[in-house]
Structure 1
Amino acid sequence: MNLISSFSQNLFFIRHGFIAEEYRKVFYGQLDVPLSEEGKIKSLKVVDELSNYSIKAIFSSPLQRALFPAKILSERKKIPLIIKEELKEINYGIWTGRPREEIYKKPLFWERFKDDTLAPPEGESIRDLRKRAKSFWEGLKDLEEGLYVIFTHGGFIRALLCELLNLESCFLFTF
């Protein structure tokens, strides 16, 4: 089944802005980290641009870095904001909050994680993330025609692209 051809909606997927500096070198995943000041400013610019469009509804991850612009746009346009757990970033389990360099020093585990079958303890695998992204995508088919804005995370968007383009999960780390 072609996951793309059956859509009559326009969908804008938007990754959240820059996060606070102290979290940039750790696996933050589903940790609810704030946007940096620059991230907030750029998010507001995105909201200003999107305000020019006729939007049916807004979907957002519940994490504050995605929810910040989603709430503002929803209030400004007086349109529904639908918060979806499925739009969260990947769950890194016990890796959450740990320095990236610490995990990269375990190349065998890191390589297996990138191949999509292995999950960090208490976390989810890339395959799990892809399934979650595909499930969200399939749930959009029943929406009426129009423009929908989806505020989410880079990992989610890349996983969805891999799913839609039928790419191996290793490509998730190349764009």
Structure 2
Amino acid sequence: MKLYLARHGESEGNLRDIFYGHLDLPLTEKGKQDAKIVGEKLSDIEIAHCYTSPLCRASETAEIALAGRDVPITVCDDFIEQHMGEYEGIPFEALYAKMGDEIFEMLRKWPDVILPGGETFFDVKCRVENSIGEIVKKGEDSLIVAHFGSLSAIFSCLLALPNAVTGVFSFDHGCISCIEIDEKWTRLLFFNR
């Protein structure tokens, strides 16, 4: 089976450069174009099922990308973005003013950071693990549309990557990645294509 993974298109949170985690912010016009680009990249690929985060930036990306195709879309709460706790809705600039260069150290160590009132990367990984297991059991070529944090956790689970490595992956808007799973191997076929 093949799992195609796509990050949502650009959202208002990306545009405003804020930590937005569970905030349900819509796609920008560019984000809608990102979603169309994902759809174009998937146009010749058979997709049996799509799973998406409940946040509108992900579900709208899935709907736009699969428009005109008969692909069922299932909302999966486990694929929601990492909760940013006290940082939710705070602009990066404001956190930098408060924390100084310490914020860059925090971002560098992101998988190990405990966000005040929020989730750790380990929390997200535990959350996505069961849902990914169920999807893999079905054995269908599927699309998952989610977020930077939850996609990183999926990569970590499926490719047996240590938490520290997941921070080096940057899931771009308008791109897809693919992990192939068979009875012998799980392998990354391509990333950010």
Give me the TM-score of the superposition, normalised by structure 2.
Answer: 0.73
Name the counterpart of 1:95.
Answer: 87
Match of 1:114 among 107, 110, 117: 110
Name the counterpart of 1:48.
Answer: 40
SS at 1:128's partner residue? helix
SS at 1:142's partner residue? helix
CA distance in 1, matches of 2:94, 2:119: 19
The change in CA–CA distance for 1:103 and 1:169 in structure 2 (over 3 A counts) is farther
The 4+ residue runs of structure 1 with deviation greater than 6 A are none
CA distance in 1, matches of 2:81, 2:132: 15
SS at 1:55's partner residue? coil
Name the counterpart of 1:6.
Answer: none
Name the counterpart of 1:165.
Answer: 159
Match of 2:145 among 139, 145, 151: 151
Question: Would you say how many aligned residue pairs link Structure 1 and Structure 2?
Answer: 165
Question: Which letter does structure 1 place at the counterpart of 2:160?
Answer: N
Cα deviations by residue, 1:53-110 (Å, 9 ceiling, x for unpaired): 2221111111111111322455521221110111111011221001224445173993
Whether 2:54 is the aligned partner of 1:62: answer yes
Is the Cα contact below 8 Å between 1:47 and 1:69 reproduced in 2? no
CA distance in 1, matches of 2:152, 2:65: 24
Worse-superposed segment, 26-35 or 51-60: 51-60
SS at 2:2's partner residue? strand
SS at 1:13's partner residue? strand
Give the alignment's Cα RMSD to 1 decimal.
2.6
**Structure 1, gaps ≥5 residues long:** 1-8
SS at 1:77's partner residue? coil
Question: Which letter does structure 2 place at the counterpart of 1:147?
Answer: D
CA distance in 2, matches of 1:173, 1:23: 21
CA distance in 1, matches of 2:136, 2:91: 39
Question: Which letter does structure 1 place at the counterpart of 2:134?
Answer: G
SS at 1:146's partner residue? coil
CA distance in 1, matches of 2:150, 2:66: 22
Question: Which letter does structure 1 place at the counterpart of 2:83?
Answer: N
- Deviation, 1:160, is 2.1
Give me the TM-score of the superposition, normalised by structure 1.
Answer: 0.80
Question: Which letter does structure 1 place at the counterpart of 2:110?
Answer: K
CA distance in 2, matches of 1:141, 1:54: 16
Name the counterpart of 1:31.
Answer: 23
SS at 2:143's partner residue? strand
Whether 2:10 is the aligned partner of 1:14: answer no
